[in-house]
Structure 1
Amino acid sequence: MSIAPPVALARVTLAEWDADHSQRDDAYELVGGIPTVAPNETVGNVRATTRLTVLLDRELRPHWLPLPHFAVHLGDQGGWHTIRQPDLALVRGDVDPRGHRVEARDVALVVEVISPGSVETDALTKRAEYARAGIPAYLLVDVRGPRPTVVLFDQIVDGAYATPDTDGISATLRIGEHTIPLLAAELVSS
């Protein structure tokens, strides 16, 4: 029996992405030019994202818009683009409402709620990508276990987020003139 060689993943340009993958019903991200299927979320993850969306919308509208699962263009490396769809992106309130993605420069905060199948991607890979793109703050939320945690990365040093000193129980978001305290326990279903 012979083993077929691995199939090479075809890279697409940003124009090809716009014409095809960006408008599909299933969730895709563009990683270094390669369309990548994003996994479905758990109920707990969606609930945490929803609670954050409501909180941020109440506190920051109309200057900032919390957009769940919305495409953020992180730029390109070597000519190949990366577009992520964080669980939540906080974008400037004056972005074009007809657009189907935003540029990293229009984003104040991205939130990833760790999924069981993407722990390393959410905690390491995306954190590095968001910092390289210059997004000022990255909130990592984990609601998988008995004790939910929130970790806020909001200092970029030499192109990477500095490791925060945190217990994971709470975080304080600073968006412009706004200070928003956040408790991890408030993000889980009661």
Structure 2
Amino acid sequence: MREFRDALPPELPARTEIIDGNLIISASDRTVQKFFESLSPDIPLRTEIIDGNLIVSPFGTPRHARIARILSRALIPVEDANGWESFDGNVDICIEGPRDAMAPDYCIVPLDAPLWGGREILSSGVIMVAEVVSPGSTRTDHLVKPGVYAGCGIPIMMIIDPVSSPPAVTVLSDPEDGAYRTAVHAELGKPVRIPDPVDFDLDTSIFL
């Protein structure tokens, strides 16, 4: 708790609790959104709004960041061919409707992706997101975020899970009614297909 307190403003809104190593701040939607918008972009913590709660967690390990960067490099040919750009872990996505704020480990967007203010990319402009699972994010990455991303129509979500047994990659696509209809699962080391609009065969051995 101390590492969160040292980095966050002294006055936290409403109820706070620690779950799986993450600080959960609960209050009214307006209070949480206002508090999130007041945070400095240089804060040394990862902050997201999920289901109206502000989730504050430490940044991932070097391995976590390395996997996101490896994915980014692998998909550079796709970006160049389509005039897209990518971000690995340093932008927020505003989920249109509830205005939740997500911080994916990786995302692909068009160069002219719409913005919400100066800090967030609107979810309607996002082509693909990816999350790298850590011990404290297993439930959120596998069970919560797919529904959020599918619900706002992001075409593809990839989950790279180096902490599962065996380590694996899951590619989710075809969002409809708040869920992805198609899921392709592969152990790390085996190829996996990323469907349209990305349209790329990924060799997941690059993550080993």
Counterpart among 61, 73, 76 of residue 94 in structure 2: 73
**Per the alignment, do residues 147 and 183 of structure 1 end up closer, same or farther by CA in structure 2, a change over 3 Å counting?**
farther
Q: Does 1:179 align with 2:199?
A: yes
Taking the aligned partners of 1:33 and 1:187, their CA distance within structure 2 comes to 33
Is 2:57 aligned against 1:38?
Answer: yes
SS in 2 for 1:75: coil
TM-score normalized by the length of structure 2: 0.74
How far 1:89 sits from its partner (Å)? 1.1
> Alignment length, in residue pairs?
177
The residue that corresponds to 1:10 in the other structure is 27
Shift of 1:68: 1.4
Structure 2: gaps spanning 5 or more residues: 1-13, 16-25
SS at match of 2:183: coil
Distance 2:204 2:58 in 1: 23
Alignment of 1:63-142 (within 5 A): 63-69=83-89, 70-77=91-98, 81-95=99-113, 99-142=118-161
SS at match of 1:86: coil
Contact 2:151 2:176 in 1 (8 A): no
Structure 1 unaligned segments of length 5 or more: list them.
Answer: 1-6
Q: Cα distance, 1:76 vs. partner?
A: 3.5
> Does residue 1:28 correspond to 2:27, yes or no?
no
SS in 1 for 2:157: strand
- TM-score (ref. length: structure 1): 0.80
Supply the distance in 1 between the matched residues of 2:133 and 2:180 (Cα, whole angstroms).
18
In structure 2, distance between residues paired with 1:36 and 1:158: 25
Deviation at 1:183, TM superposition (A): 2.2
Change (3 A) 1:16 1:145: closer
2:192 partner SS: strand
Cα distance between partner residues in 2 of 1:163 and 1:29: 26
Q: Residue 58 of structure 1: CA displacement?
A: 3.5
Aligned-partner Cα distance in 2 for 1:103–1:43: 28
Is this contact kept in 2: 1:28–1:36, CA < 8 A? yes
Provide the rounded CA distance (Å) in 1 between the counterparts of 2:195 and 2:95.
22
Deviation larger for 137-146 or 48-57: 137-146
1:49 maps to: 68
- Please give the alpha-carbon distance, in whole angstroms, between the structure 1 residues aligned to 2:161 and 2:150: 20
Percent of aligned pairs with the same amino acid:
24
Q: CA deviation at 1:13?
A: 5.8
The AA in structure 2 aligned to 1:10 is A
Pick 1 or 2: higher relative contact order, CA cutoff 8 A, min separation 6: 1
